[in-house]
Structure formats: structure tokens, C-alpha cells
Amino acid sequence: MNSATFSSTFLRTGCLRKDGVNNLKADTRNAGKVFVKCYVNTKTQKAEKEVRLGVLGASGYTGSEIVRLLANHPHFGITLMTADRKAGQSIGSVFPHLVSQDLPKMVAIKDADFSDVDAVFCCLPHGTTQEIIKGLPKSLKIVDLSADFRLRDISEYEEWYGQAHSAPELQKEVVYGLTEILREEIKGARVVANPGCYPTSVQLPLVPLIKANLIESKNIIIDSKSGVSGAGRGAKEANLYTEIAEGIYSYGVTRHRHVPEIEQGLSDAANSKVTVSFTPHLMPMSRGMQSTIYVELAAGVNFKDLNQQLKLSYEDEEFVVVMEEGAVPRTHNTRGSNFCFINVFPDRIPGRAIIISVIDNLVKGASGQALQNLNLMMGFPENTGLLYQPLFP
């Protein structure tokens, strides 16, 4: 059986199959209600898709999240998946929640054939991606979810990542993929460096405020907390249940690798060097991220000015929501979705404000923003395949 049947009650009579064909059977015997029977194909129809995709590193958390999001994309179909340790296996055997997807088996990266691929999501570990991407066909559009191309200054990359940059010429053409801030540059890019999760949660609220000169670019303090999935799927002692549960773990204190990425984006906004104090924490939850940011207000500015500027900056943005005054963003608000929720609060210390920003670290902080970027690069509406509402509870 290649289809699943769902019965739902709608206020409007519309149900669209993934292949774009309406298939409705309405029963209006009950007054005031319309019962819609919708036949939805649960298999990914690779042959019908306009854009053929490769997912490199499909057996990791960000790779599997890409696959999940693409299941509802009308234009993108996966024709290649790699996973060295899981080569020869199906995606359903590695991630049973994706068992309904009719996808090619995963292969080792050395055996990958890119002749049937138009674009690539690269979900490989940091430090391994530069060599692989520079060897890919020049015809491919690429979104890299690793940190290997996020820093424009290759000497800074070497300082923070402890190894020389192996693709300095390619680095010159890479566009940083913070979608809401660099949308026009992303549209024309061949290679996009997808932002890190922490930098996304921090830059979305701070960049508009710095550009508007509403906050000082000094004395910015960032306290960020992430679900354990942000540490990747590899087996690590520090990520065992008994190490993580019932506690909070601060890591990368003073030297976390996202610091130069955050400072690069804020410095661009300020047109001068910005240095921040940033400490991340691992939380006993699977996904979600919150950044609590403490800022100094510019002269004559109050916290309401910050809130109004953020609302103005993001009034036409689908995925960035500035909440009403007093509402506290929670990681539950964004779980499973591509949203970023933001709000500003007055600090009890005069002249300062507190900004809270929450995202799902695997969606807006990784795979969702990557899909948003590739949509732009391929000329499709950037919300395509991303209209998942947050999952609660």
C-alpha cells in the first residue's frame, strides 16, 4: 500500500497531495461540518522532483533532520546519501522514524556519484568538510552545515580550530548564510556556510540593534543553553545520560569555537571590532536553545526602543517572531520548527536590557535554516518545506 488515508475536519475544503493534485471526498451530511478524506502519498517520489539533492553525512542529527524536512518539499528530492559508518544501510534502519521515506541506501563518501545531483547539503563533521567540498563538481549548489567555511579570515579559523584551512581559494566565494540578514547575497551564492546554532540565536536579535545604534557594542554578555543534540551523534563520554541528566554542564568556557563567528557578524553590523563574553551550557533535553543576552543601552534609549526596532526589522519575516511585551520566550515555543522567538526586558540595572532568544537548535539552528538557504539559492520561496508549526507539548 503506497498511500496513507487521513480523515480530518477542516473549516475550509482544501487538501493538497504532495504531488500537487487535489483529492477530496467531502461528506456534508452533518450540518456545519465538512469531513475531508485526504489521500497522501507517504513515499518520496524522487523522479517527480525538479531538484536532485545529495545529503552528505545523512546518519547524523542534522542529516536526518534534513531528510525529515525534505519529506514535505514539493521540489527537492534526495538522490544521494552518504554515511561512511552506515554505508549500505537504509535511512529507515538508522532512523526508524524515517522508515516511510523511499530513499536510496547510504554509501561511503568515496563511492558517491554526483552525476545525478544538482545541489548538496553537507552535514559532515568539522575539519573534514573543506577537502570534500573543494573536490565536488563546480556545477553543484552547496550548503555546508559544518563550521569549516563560516570564518572569512582563514588565520582565525586556524587559531580557533587548530588546523590550517585547506580550501582558502574556495573560502573567498563562500557566503555566510544568516538568511534574514544576508538574503540577497545568499540568492546568488554557489556555496553557503550555514551559521552555527548559537550564532543564529545571538545574531538575529543583536544585528538589527547594533545597526540601529540602539545598544553599545561593548560589554555584551551572552549566556546560552542547548539541548544535547547540539553536541552531535557521536559516542562521547560527556554526553552519556548519566553525565547529562539532572544537571547543567558549562563547556568551552572563554574559548568556544562559536565566539569568532558571533564576533564576525556583530563586527560587520557595527563596522568596528566587537568582542563579547560568551558561555554555552549543555542542558538535559534533546533539542532546543536559549540565549539570554545582557546589553548596555545607547544614550537616551530604553528597552521599548529595542523591542520596537526588532519588530520593525522583522515585521515581514515569517520565521522571526518578536513577542508582545512581558511574554517570555521558551524553548518549547519553537520545538521542531524553523522559528526564532525573541523578546526584550528591562534590566533592574539602569541603562541595561535583557534579550531572550529561543530556537530549535536542529532546525533554525541547523537543518531548517540550511533548507531556507537552498530554497533561496534555487529560486523557490524560502518557506517551502518549512511550514511545520512548533510541537507542543
- Contact between 257 and 161 (Cβ < 8 Å): yes
Alpha carbon distances (Å) from 15 to 8, 67, 375: 10, 23, 23
Longest dimension (CA), the chain: 71
**Active-site annotation holder among 38, 122, 197, 340:** 197
> Which grid cell is 58?
545523512
Whether 122 is catalytic is: no
d(CA 329, CA 344): 10
Backbone angles phi, psi at 317, to 5 degrees: -95, 130
Peptide bond between residue 393 and the one before it cis (omega within 30 degrees of 0) = yes
Where b means 16+ CB within 10 Å and e means fewer, 166-180 reads bbeebbeebbbbbbb
Bridging pattern class, strands 276-282 and 352-359: unpaired
The CA-based dihedral angle spanning residues 82, 67, 233, 288, taken in that order and rounded to the nearest 10 degrees: 150
Question: What positions carry a catalytic annotation?
Answer: 197
